[in-house]
Chain A
Amino acid sequence: MSAVTPEIQRISGLRRFKDKGVQVLVYLAFAIAVVPLVSVLWMVIANGLARFDMEFLTHSMRNIGARDAGGGAYHAIIGTLEQVALASLISVPIGLLTAVYLVEYGTNGRLKRSISFFVDIMTGVPSVVAGLFILAFWILILGMPFSGFAGAMALSILMLPTVVRAAEEMLLLVPNDLREASYALGVSKWRTIVKVVLPTAFTGIVTGVMLAVARVAGETAPLLLTVFFTDSINNDPFSGPQMGLPLYVFDQAARPNDTAIDRAWAAALTLIIIIMLLNLAARLITYWRSPARKR
């Protein structure tokens, strides 16, 4: 061995300097990342609070003239909740089953690889294309009317890949030991998946689904082409035009009067609050279901 015998030394000045330098950079990066988040929240809250009142939450825009104050987004809130719920109802089961197939059944087969490939492609589909597809296929070719359901279908196209990827990641995280432990007890494969694998991945899947919901709840483009605009309340997502909060913001913000601009800000605030509440609900569900709570 020709190496110099190592000896215990003081930390060199250069290393200390590098350490501090990198530390400063990391904090700086964090601060820069937080700036847009905080400023968006701040702007929306500051501008939205002016019209964020009971009237806004309980009234539609029916019979509100172009320059009138008042009016609200009740019809849009209903629309967004129904469309997002329907979109989840379509995409969560399909997405979850796809992920189960990819992780548990598709053993490097051609089908698995092609599904994976197409999910990746779907992730990259621009949201307006999803809207266009539903417009062309559902509304123009099949001759269905504009409706909340058509919007929900467009949203579910955007949700699906996110749900598949999130659920797939979570299922892959479930240790193989648990599957083997279950098989070794003489439990069949599908029961192992339903009773052991899915419950273990449950919290992660819920978080992933919530991220997907949050993403599509703010989508404007697919709704633009599928649900049409309306100022009235339409509780039935399966017939007739329906409003959505992102559309409402888009519509109101394009108008020249301050009353409309204020409504747009309030609607943006409402949308953020709805997504926050949904996230909170998901957190509560996962907290309630987590094994640590029973300790």
Chain B
Amino acid sequence: MAKQIEVTDVDAYYSGHKAIEGISMTIDARAVTAFIGPSGCGKSTFLRTLNRMHEVIPGATVTGKIRMEEQDLYGAGVDPVSVRRTIGMVFQRPNPFPTMSIYDNVAAGLRLNHRYSKSELDGIVEESLKGANLWNEVKDRLPKPGSGLSGGQQQRLCIARAIAVRPQVLLMDEPCSALDPISTLAIEDLIAKLKQEFTIVIVTHNMQQAARVSDKTAFFNLAAQGQPGKLIEMDETTKIFTSPSQKATEDYITGRFG
């Protein structure tokens, strides 16, 4: 299910303003890759280029190459909708569809794309909710609205919704920043479990979290305000947090700036 992503020299722009510059990296399959760096350094922007969500914003463009296995995601004739179906995304704030029940929320990605039989859907919904460690908490109230859940449960509902469409890769944009420590722990456990099946990329402001959950860590930084963000270094997480090769990385993780 999981696939590797190969990024070569990617720049991203917001209406002419360059937000990130010259990013190249390899994102391993069946592993967790964490993006860290100060606010405004382009981590989220870069994450959004990976599943072509960046271009949803009016005036936003991307140059460079992003390949998933042998497929060029930005190749001519590639349907961005199908890219997003293969590379799922979880957002900073939990955003279940307010008009839909818990069940419908999980089934949304499937229903909105294809026709499924009731029993097929039931199976996928149960499997996805179990996959998101939410099944036991909601199995008795599937027809109730998803907005009635707590913040942490809503976020796990969003994860269930994302994995229900069986993506190859799961992108997470600060998935725990709006959650309390217990819900955060639940999501981190979940990430550890999901990486056996998916390629996971997570943006986080919490360095302990990056150290806890990720196998590899990429540090992003920008030279000055208004300058494009750049990838400073990327390595095994243990190496980044013990002996980074760049001075800026060390300064950041030891709390000297950012």
Contacts and interface: CB of A to CB of B under 8 A. Distances in A.
A197 B154 CA distance: 19
B58 A184 contact: no
A178 B82 contact: no
A177 B144 contact: no
B209 to A, nearest CB: 21
Contacts of A180: 53, 56, 89, 91, 95
Given A294-B101, A295-B145, A182 B88 contact: no
Contacts of B143: 294
Given A185-B108, A186-B109, A295-B144, A202 B84 contact: no
B95 A294 contact: no
A67 interface: no
Interface string A156-200: 000000000000000000010111111111111001100110011
A107 B145 contact: no
Nearest to B105: A181
Contact of B112 (A187, A200, A291): A187
A184 B91 CA distance: 9
A289 to B, nearest CB: 8
B147 A291 contact: yes
Contact of A295 (B95, B109, B148, B165): B148
A181 B101 contact: no
B88 to A, nearest CB: 6
A184 B145 contact: no
A200 B99 contact: yes
Contact of B98 (A186, A187, A192, A200): A200
B91 A186 contact: no
B56 A291 contact: no
Interface in A81-120: 107-108
B216 interface: no
B66 interface: no
A292 interface: yes
A165 B144 CA distance: 32
Interface residues of A, number: 26
Contacts of B145: 291-292, 294-295
B84 A294 contact: no
Interface in B157-189: 158, 161-162, 165
Contact of A199 (B53, B99, B148): B99
B99 A184 contact: no
Contacts of B33: none
A188 B109 CA distance: 10
Interface in B227-251: none
Contacts of B95: 175, 177-178, 180-181
Nearest to A198: B99
B98 to A, nearest CB: 6
A185 B165 CA distance: 7
A291 B109 contact: no
A46 B169 CA distance: 70
Contacts of A295: 144-145, 148
Contacts of B100: 291
Contacts of B165: 185-186
Contact of B97 (A107, A108, A181, A184): A181
Contact of B99 (A108, A186, A187, A291): A291
Contacts of B221: none
A200 B51 CA distance: 25
Contacts of B98: 178, 200, 291
Contacts of A292: 145
A188 B113 CA distance: 8
B97 A186 contact: no
A188 B114 CA distance: 12
Interface string B69-83: 000000000000111
A177 B109 contact: no
Given A202-B99, A294-B143, A294-B144, A183 B84 contact: yes
Nearest to B79: A188
B153 interface: no
Given A107-B58, A191-B112, A185 B99 contact: no
Given A180-B89, A187-B109, A291-B145, 6 more contacts: A178-B95, A184-B51, A186-B83, A186-B85, A186-B113, A295-B145
16 contacts: A107-B58, A175-B95, A177-B93, A179-B56, A180-B56, A181-B158, A181-B161, A182-B108, A183-B53, A186-B82, A186-B109, A188-B81, A195-B108, A202-B99, A291-B99, A295-B148
Interface of B: 51, 53, 56, 58, 81-86, 88-89, 91, 93, 95, 97-101, 108-109, 112-113, 143-145, 147-148, 158, 161-162, 165
